[in-house]
Amino acid sequence: MYTEVKHPLVQHKLSLVRDKDTGSKLFRELIGEISKFLAYEALREIPVKPVDVETPLETAKCHHVESEIVLVPILRAGIGMLDALTDLVPNARIGFLGMYRDHATSKPVEYYSKLPEAKDDSVAIVIDPMLATGGSSVAAITHIKEQGFKNVILICIVSCPEGIATVESAHPDVPIYTASIDRCLNSHNYILPGLGDAGDRLFGTK
């Protein structure tokens, strides 16, 4: 299941983030802002439990989030979404997965993993701005499930039909939230029209 979040503010911010003349500072801010909109949608159905809260006047029937949220950015570019999501879910625990695409094969190479312990009610949210071939996301989700996480959600800013199909085929239970499903991949497995190399634009490495 995938959801393309087409809120007008998301579309506006996405137009700025795609612009090749947008520098790292604004790029980072926009990636954070779009991430919040996507997480807002992605977390719409998470379980809540009833709690009584004493207002100055009486008891109010309220709700607290019941699940433990675990944010898992895929290094490097996922780091660009992390601050925004910890603003939204301050109690989230955080796991890190280091992964890069081999330039020749476009296959993911895993180089780091540090995840918190999975609990029965944990919801792991994989965050990465780009879903291209889908190799990195599939490898990340597979790894996270092997560590005991049963509920996994994928949030990516820009995706494409190839990446969505790959993730859906490997992990049909994992909902995908994205701000745009772009046209296709180019011969180097970059998304078209895309936004270029997310990691380089976030961290100014090119």
3 as an active site residue: the answer is no
DSSP for residue 130: B
Q: How many CB atoms lie within 10 A of CB 60?
A: 10
163 binds, among ligand PRP, ligand URA, none (CB under 5 to 8 A by kind): ligand PRP
Element (H, E) at 158: strand 151-159
Regarding 182 and contact with ligand PRP (CB under 6 A), the answer is: no
44 as an active site residue: the answer is no
Distance CA 128, CA 22 (A): 19
Q: How far is the CB of 58 from ligand PRP (least distance, A)?
A: 49
Q: How far is the CB of 101 from ligand PRP (least distance, A)?
A: 3
Find the helix packing angle between 161-170 and 135-146, rounded to 10°. Answer: 20
Regarding 131 and contact with ligand PRP (CB under 6 A), the answer is: yes
Regarding 113 and contact with ligand PRP (CB under 6 A), the answer is: no
Distance CA 120, CA 5 (A): 29
74 binds, among ligand URA, ligand PRP, none (CB under 5 to 8 A by kind): ligand PRP
Residues lying near ligand URA in the complex (CB under 6 A) are found at 130, 132, 190-191, 194, 197-199
